[in-house]
Chain A
């Protein structure tokens, strides 16, 4: 059944062959015409290598953070801006002299919109392949389509130059910006630091007495002053006692220390005075012991007075010596007194300064802390500036993520479009498809009986008979003649085709003898 069906379809096709052939040939002719009529388009392309930074990032870092690929995309956007494209078209005189492929109807002026649109459609950026995702090294392909190979190549090279220039400029600008920023930062922080330091100096000079660093010194000073004060007091006491003893000695006539040894009376008197003093500590004023003692002392003093009166000459001499001694002592005492007041004042000052020290220490600490913070920032800024300097150097010497021209565009040998062969092939295929569709449609629309099976399907019983086509003798002769002619043509085609194919292979593919040798060696 399938076999019958296949034969049936083949026979239908055979009968409709005129249609099929006509439509196919028409389609072929049209496609050939189209392929010939379409203007050629040449595409030139250049490859740009977008490299990752040359210097390892852990040694020195570029200060341009964008990856090269991002950079490329940014530039791509810049290049496809209106102004640039218009400038490029103008520069290359792209639409001025009617190039093949840009023939303007009636020489009318293209609007800038159209020009930009057209240019955009001609330019293609393509990332060929990312060599490694980590480093971001990749190759981009920039291509341009134009009606002339030379023009296409020229445009591509122009574009590429622009890309490279723009990339370099951008990166160095960025690096320079970074450096400038850090420069400014350093300057700012430096002036801040200077200001703070001046403040500190001012504070210190203002509160130099209460500075914490001189606290120990001042404490020691205070102690030594106090020691000195006690010494002075002691000396003063000694002087006073001596003076009093001198005066006493003068008064008793027995200059104790000055006028020789003390008389027994004097000695007694002194002893009694001492005893009195002791007794006074124990007894009251009007106890009998005391009264007795006082009486004795008075009597003794009378005796002494009388004795002194006897020795006036001697006492005169003694008096002048005493005078001298006393004035000396008084002088000393005065000096000591003065010194004491001075020392006491200084101790009071010191104490006050010591008391005031914590407050000024706190103030100073806060100042110092500020200074330290700023100092830290300043140091960091200095370090960063150094990095930025290195980064700028890297960018200046384009060791950062750099673009390099891998392969400049050269004028293409053959146009990329129209792909004439493909157009013709598509035309032929379309023609065949169309004709087959037409045949199918005709067959669908054709509601006539063609096979006994159709009748059987309709009538639910087999037809009585199926008569094949019976040719008249003339028809039979014509058919056999036709068959003979067809066979002859086929034979001629085969006979012509084999040498033709061989010749084609020989002249267009590779010489036959080489192929044969290859075949033999295989």
Chain B
């Protein structure tokens, strides 16, 4: 009995120590991520450029942001339910408004103060986020994925809870880069260190390249963007089927729709 009780106490103690150490580690990582977040260079945005690029969610009071806010809330709920963090944004064909959606969603998430958001441009062939934000002279993102560059060299901070990973230079072998184990590792490390609630990956289109297929193992779920009057139903159907087989489809977004009045 004695021995049992002492061993139990031992276990309890060990547990307590574990918990303490866990808490310590947790606190450490939190502190580290806080430090890391603070160390990120600030993103200077020009509202005129953003407006020119149809980014509406930086305005607090505009009716145009409503659908993005609703989508943000839905996404957050789903992520919390499933304990997911990373969301890839893709579309069947190019220029369906992936980057547009990613930026608007990112700024909408940034208004949610208790939520940290990362926006990463992994459309390595045609990086657009930097351009859209009016950011120039950013280093190539490939360096980060190879582990040559550090987080705070690549990411820019907006407010206190949105970090944007801008790609300054297109990558030649994008699919190979994206499916290399190094990339997987770098992204895991990024998640650990930044400790974000949501990571948005702005990706290339599905039917043009194999980048998405290559990158799918690194994400928890996917948003498929369909552009009204450009994307055919067949494209949406095939892409959605593929994605739901290989990953989780968070939903399909119909973009640039002129025949829709509210819900």
Contacts and interface: CB of A to CB of B under 8 A. Distances in A.
Contacts of A470: 54, 56, 64, 256
B14 interface: no
A359 interface: no
A451 B250 CA distance: 19
Contacts of B260: 451-452, 466, 468
A458 B226 CA distance: 13
B226 to A, nearest CB: 5
B138 to A, nearest CB: 24
Determine the main DSSP class of A at the interface with B: mixed
Given A465-B70, A467-B254, A474 B226 contact: no
Interface stretch (B15-23, B116-124, B202-210, B229-237): B229-237
B228 interface: yes
Contacts of B231: 448-449
Contacts of A446: 229
How large, as a class, is the contact surface on chain A? Answer: 20 to 34
Contact of B71 (A7, A464, A472, A473): A464
Determine the main DSSP class of B at the interface with A: mixed
A454 B261 CA distance: 15
A469 B67 CA distance: 11
Interface in B18-74: 51-54, 56, 64, 67-68, 70-71, 74
B71 A449 contact: no
B258 A468 contact: yes
Contacts of B233: 447-449, 454-455, 458
A467 B101 contact: yes
Interface in A424-473: 446-452, 454-455, 458-459, 461, 463-473
Contacts of A452: 254, 257, 260
* In the A-B complex, the 5 residue pairs with the closest CB atoms: A464-B251, A465-B71, A466-B254, A447-B232, A8-B259
Interface of B: 51-54, 56, 64, 67-68, 70-71, 74-75, 97, 101, 223, 226-234, 236-237, 240, 250-261
Given A458-B233, A459-B237, 17 more contacts: A8-B259, A447-B234, A449-B232, A449-B233, A451-B228, A451-B259, A455-B252, A458-B236, A464-B75, A464-B223, A465-B70, A465-B71, A467-B253, A467-B255, A467-B257, A468-B256, A472-B54
21 contacts: A4-B259, A8-B259, A11-B258, A448-B229, A448-B231, A449-B229, A449-B233, A452-B254, A455-B236, A459-B252, A463-B226, A464-B252, A465-B70, A465-B251, A466-B253, A467-B67, A467-B97, A468-B67, A469-B256, A469-B257, A472-B51
